Structure 1
Amino acid sequence: MRKKIALLLASLTLTMAFAGCGKTEEAAQGVTETTIKVGNSVSTSGAFAPVGVPFKAGIEAYFKMINESGGVNGRTIEYIHQDDEFNPEKGKAVLDKLVNDDKVFAIVGHFGTPVVGATLDDLKEIGIPSVYFATGTGILYNENAAKGEGDNIFPVQPVYPMEGRIMTAWAKGEFKANKIGVIYTNDDAGKDLIKGIETEAKNIGDVEVISEQVAPGAEDVSSAVTKIKNEDVDVVIIAGIQGTFPQIAKELAKQGNTKPAITTYVNVDKTMVEAIKSDVADKYEIYGNAWVDVTKPAMADFQKWVKEVSTEDFSGNAYAMTGWIAADFFVTGVKNVDGELTWENYIAAMEKEPIENPFGGNIDFSGGKRLGTQEMSLAKMDLSSPTGWSPYIGFKNIDAILGN
């Protein structure tokens, strides 16, 4: 598909060169002299609308800010959205429409694990630049994307294999752990996290990982906790998301664990603290990754412009912030393009230099790295904080965490 589109564009360029009496014009899908057309499908109805609606608003807010300041490199951005209802089949149909009918230049903010899973191979085959995926699925993780074989995929949000690697780095670099106990859920999230944890332990070389799995949503996790506790590990990693994190955290407290625990950013939320605080209290310390810092200067622009696109107040909404991040990464890529705005030049621009998350750390796409967020901060559960968490360590990548 990518080769077919390239041949078609080459033919169009040649045709227009003749039509323009020798003046060659570059033809890039979705790009005119004054506009860039981008699109996505986001669930703005149904059960996931509380996530999709603010996510879409964040994208719209950023593009509105850019357009009202004159656009990017002289071009304004036209954003097309379709509601796929979180349905993989509808997601595939919408992608086909966006690429072949609407002829967008890029997909910005691809939404939801089921839809991403159903369309990722299509995106790779087409070759269309795809910036930001609203999911942590491990299928996005790629340490060396080859040209024409997934180099058009740009994950920004944390993906679980990379986050697992960062968890191991914290355990070793901050807590001096040589033996890590991992309790992970036997689902995609848990298996992706343990894969990253074990990968980084191997990279470091002197870290032992002892792991036990539990069923996602399991009410009784006592056996797994007992086995980990009996191993006398230095740090416990809770590699499970909201449906299972509280049970593991509470069982660790019940069995008298005193070792520090680290968990995924997904659990760094007030509702998770409310679910465990009466059981855990001060029995042991819990830390969690974070990738968004609401104290960053960009927050003022976000809060101003998100009010311009919605009657709902999304100024403190985390999903709206991630939509803003998605749009920011896309626009940064456009600003960095050398020459005409084509798919190939855009991909090269994204790889040119690390891109700073407006609310977080840098992401380096060079050399085919498609790892998602590579710099995370560490928060600590804090019952005196209004959010249940307080900052502990600022943004660092793995090398910095390990002191390399």
Structure 2
Amino acid sequence: MAIRWSALILGGLLAAPFGPALAAAPDVVRELAGRVGPVVGQASACPDIAQGRVQTIVDKFREAIRQATTNDTERDLLTRTFNGYIAEGRSRTGTSQATCVAAERQLTELERSLGQPAAATPPAKADATIGAVSTGPVRGITDREIRFGMVLPFTGIRKETGRQMRQGIEAAFARANDSGGINGRTLRLVAADDGYDPNRTLAAMTQLYDKEQVFGFIGNIGTANAQVAIPYALERRALFFAPNSGAAVVRRDPPDRYVFNYRASYSEEAAAIVNYLIKLKRIPPKQIGVFQQDDAYGDDAFAGVAKAYRQLNISDAVARFTFPRATMEVDDAINKIKAHKPALKAIIMVATDRAAAKFIEKTRDAIPGLIYANVSAVGSTSLATELKLLGPRFTNGVIVTQGVPAVSGYSSLVLDYKNALAKYAPGEAPDYTSLEGYIAATILIQALKQTNPLDTERLVDTLESMRSLDLGLGTTLAFGRAEHQASHKIWGTALDETGTYQAIELE
């Protein structure tokens, strides 16, 4: 009965004109999300229920959200609330025959109450290409290829990070294609440029989804950019896999169904640095500061530092110094650091490569002995390149945490990566960002090979069932319904006088 009344109210909202009738609609829609979302989530987990029926209900509910809200912030909050209830429905109930029968019944009641015919699940048809059954054409998949999209900066301050991430993904794709692809289909990566400008991200996502007809997205660059890209992907139930971001926006709790991460978060990296500085280097908390880009990227890492302080029962406030996003305007932050009392002995850096290099250049002599510890998103290779131009004393001892093992190591995955790079990108040196792209793509490839017939819903189910995945990294990876981050491992590296990264122990 609750489902029937929810559907009737939802139908009434959709039929009502704008104006006083919708004045209280946000609260009504929020309440309905808690009733309709779990039903939709459970139905989407049942393989015998056509996903088009589920999508129709989702589309109607999102239309109700659109009509009930007056600004993007409120609309995004309600959408995420609804998505959270969908995820809850999927994780709370299994996909046994009994639960799926109940889900079918509730979905049918929703359809009837909304004034649409209950669609029967279409019969499966044979697909000789993959030797299984298919429910029809899938966006981004043809008899010959599977297309993935990637939004990255072709130019500007983050272009090298984007280039390296793309290179790693393409190397993994090429290696898989040479081995027969995905059940006979080749993998293809199509990239679009947003210049690291979130105001351009939506257009780039739209170009890939509408014009290029990509199956999903992999390796997108930028935290603020992800804040735009993720809602777009979620609304279209498109996979958003392994963005090059450790930010909280790509790590919701419960996780967004279509968003998966490979790497550890910025918060985890920052906490590892705090523990290293305080426990191993014996630096007083009052003499540790955070130099951060003034955006979600910087804020996430700063939150990780503050959390680590609380976990260590440190009451001291964290000294915080910011600079404008996507710039090298670091002078104001440097002046404040110089004036800070007591004098800082270590700085946790949440910046991009050129801004970080400029900061180190201007403080190396002004604050002698200062320890520099960067999170991985700085861009390891490009930071080293910038500092080597300045001389050995600027490189020596600069720390960078990594979400991947040392590229100089000899684990089986790193060796595979180096061989693939030499074959498909001759002349390119191993790089931490391209290794991250290679690892992320390798995980995705394994999931694609295990999903048959292939569509987004089945692929997500496959990913969520991956446990104790051993790629040869020295640590196992895993996903789950409540865990969409494969790795929580953080590796430590530090530059020597030659500008080469050496492994260091963080604990």
> Is 1:145 paired with 2:260?
no
Task: Look up the SS of the partner of 2:441 in the other structure.
Answer: helix
Q: Which residue of 1 aligns with 2:310?
A: 202
Q: Does the CA contact (< 8 Å) of 2:350 and 2:375 recur in 1?
A: yes
> Is 1:212 paired with 2:307?
no
Q: 1:381 to 1:55 in 2, by over 3 A?
A: closer
Which deviations, in whole Å up to 9, do the C-alpha atoms of 1:363-403 show, x marking residues without a partner?
Answer: 544353455852121123321xx334321127xxxxxx4xx
Q: 1:392 to 1:27 in 2, by over 3 A?
A: same
The normalised TM-score by structure 1 is 0.74
The structure 1 residue matched to 2:205, chosen from 85, 95, 100, is 95
Which deviations, in whole Å up to 9, do the C-alpha atoms of 1:245-295 show, x marking residues without a partner?
Answer: 34554666546555754322326442354366576688xx54331233212
The structure 2 residue matched to 1:190, chosen from 288, 298, 312, is 298
Q: Tell me how far apart the structure 2 counterparts of residues 76 and 19 of structure 1 sit (CA, whole Å).
A: 17
Q: Which residue of 2 aligns with 1:161?
A: 267
- Whichever residue aligns with residue 323 of structure 1, its letter is G
The structure 1 residue matched to 2:374, chosen from 263, 280, 302, is 263
Q: Which residue of 2 aligns with 1:398?
A: none
- Whichever residue aligns with residue 251 of structure 2, its letter is Y
Q: Tell me how far apart the structure 1 counterparts of residues 215 and 354 of structure 2 sit (CA, whole Å).
A: 38
Q: Which residue of 2 aligns with 1:79?
A: 188
> Is 1:70 paired with 2:180?
yes
> Is 1:376 paired with 2:490?
yes
Q: 1:317 to 1:164 in 2, by over 3 A?
A: closer
> Is 1:127 paired with 2:237?
yes
Following superposition, the deviation at residue 196 of structure 1 comes to 1.3
Q: Does the CA contact (< 8 Å) of 2:267 and 2:304 recur in 1?
A: yes
> Is 1:38 paired with 2:151?
no
Q: Does the CA contact (< 8 Å) of 1:28 and 1:343 recur in 2?
A: no
Q: 1:388 to 1:160 in 2, by over 3 A?
A: same
> 1 or 2, which has the higher helix percentage?
2
Q: Does the CA contact (< 8 Å) of 1:129 and 1:152 recur in 2?
A: yes
Q: Tell me how far apart the structure 2 counterparts of residues 174 and 28 of structure 1 sit (CA, whole Å).
A: 56
Q: Does the CA contact (< 8 Å) of 1:17 and 1:24 recur in 2?
A: yes
Aligned residues: CA RMSD: 4.3
How is 1:1-400 mapped onto 2 (pairs within 5 angstroms)?
6-7=52-53, 14-17=121-124, 25-27=134-136, 29-30=138-139, 37-43=146-152, 45-47=154-156, 51-72=161-182, 74-86=183-195, 91-96=201-206, 98-99=208-209, 103-113=213-223, 115-142=225-252, 144-146=253-255, 150-157=256-263, 159-175=265-281, 179=285, 181-185=288-292, 187-188=294-295, 189-206=297-314, 208-216=316-324, 217-219=329-331, 221-227=334-340, 229-230=342-343, 236-246=347-357, 248-249=359-360, 253-254=364-365, 258=369, 260-265=371-376, 266=378, 268=380, 269-274=383-388, 286-292=398-404, 293-294=406-407, 295=409, 296-306=411-421, 308-309=423-424, 313-335=427-449, 340-351=453-464, 352-355=466-469, 362-366=476-480, 368-370=482-484, 374-383=488-497, 386-393=498-505
Q: Tell me how far apart the structure 2 counterparts of residues 184 and 82 of structure 1 sit (CA, whole Å).
A: 32
Gaps of 5+ in 1: 395-400
Following superposition, the deviation at residue 328 of structure 1 comes to 0.9
Task: Look up the SS of the partner of 1:380 in the other structure.
Answer: strand
Which deviations, in whole Å up to 9, do the C-alpha atoms of 1:189-234 show, x marking residues without a partner?
Answer: 332221111123223434744313143422251432442534x77x
Identify the range of structure 1 (194-203 vs 10-19) with the bigger mean alpha-carbon deviation: 10-19
- Whichever residue aligns with residue 141 of structure 1, its letter is R
Which deviations, in whole Å up to 9, do the C-alpha atoms of 1:63-117 show, x marking residues without a partner?
Answer: 2222322334x35343241433536566434534544565543322224456433
Q: 1:238 to 1:303 in 2, by over 3 A?
A: closer
Q: Tell me how far apart the structure 1 counterparts of residues 146 and 395 of structure 2 sit (CA, whole Å).
A: 51
Task: Look up the SS of the partner of 1:62 in the other structure.
Answer: helix
Q: Which residue of 1 aligns with 2:13?
A: none
Q: Tell me how far apart the structure 1 counterparts of residues 251 and 121 of structure 2 sit (CA, whole Å).
A: 38
Q: Tell me how far apart the structure 2 counterparts of residues 101 and 246 of structure 1 sit (CA, whole Å).
A: 39
Following superposition, the deviation at residue 125 of structure 1 comes to 2.4
- Whichever residue aligns with residue 235 of structure 2, its letter is E
Q: 1:69 to 1:17 in 2, by over 3 A?
A: closer
- Whichever residue aligns with residue 402 of structure 2, its letter is A
Identify the range of structure 1 (250-259 vs 108-117) with the bigger mean alpha-carbon deviation: 250-259
Q: 1:227 to 1:267 in 2, by over 3 A?
A: farther
Q: Does the CA contact (< 8 Å) of 2:347 and 2:372 recur in 1?
A: yes
Q: Does the CA contact (< 8 Å) of 1:332 and 1:355 recur in 2?
A: no
Identify the range of structure 1 (358-367 vs 287-296) with the bigger mean alpha-carbon deviation: 358-367
Q: Does the CA contact (< 8 Å) of 2:247 and 2:266 recur in 1?
A: yes
Q: 1:39 to 1:50 in 2, by over 3 A?
A: same
Q: Does the CA contact (< 8 Å) of 1:246 and 1:276 recur in 2?
A: no
Identify the range of structure 1 (39-48 vs 54-63) with the bigger mean alpha-carbon deviation: 39-48
How many matched pairs?
Answer: 380
Q: Tell me how far apart the structure 1 counterparts of residues 349 and 167 of structure 2 sit (CA, whole Å).
A: 33
Following superposition, the deviation at residue 24 of structure 1 comes to 6.8
Q: 1:199 to 1:289 in 2, by over 3 A?
A: same
Q: Does the CA contact (< 8 Å) of 1:273 and 1:388 recur in 2?
A: no
- Whichever residue aligns with residue 196 of structure 1, its letter is G
Q: 1:258 to 1:108 in 2, by over 3 A?
A: closer
> 1 or 2, which has the higher strand percentage?
1
Q: Tell me how far apart the structure 2 counterparts of residues 263 and 5 of structure 1 sit (CA, whole Å).
A: 44
Gaps of 5+ in 2: 1-39, 45-49, 57-117
Q: Tell me how far apart the structure 1 counterparts of residues 119 and 472 of structure 2 sit (CA, whole Å).
A: 38
Q: Tell me how far apart the structure 1 counterparts of residues 487 and 317 of structure 2 sit (CA, whole Å).
A: 23
Q: Tell me how far apart the structure 1 counterparts of residues 283 and 433 of structure 2 sit (CA, whole Å).
A: 34
Q: Tell me how far apart the structure 1 counterparts of residues 189 and 351 of structure 2 sit (CA, whole Å).
A: 35
Query: RCO (CA 8 Å, sep 6+): is it higher in 1 or 2?
Result: 1
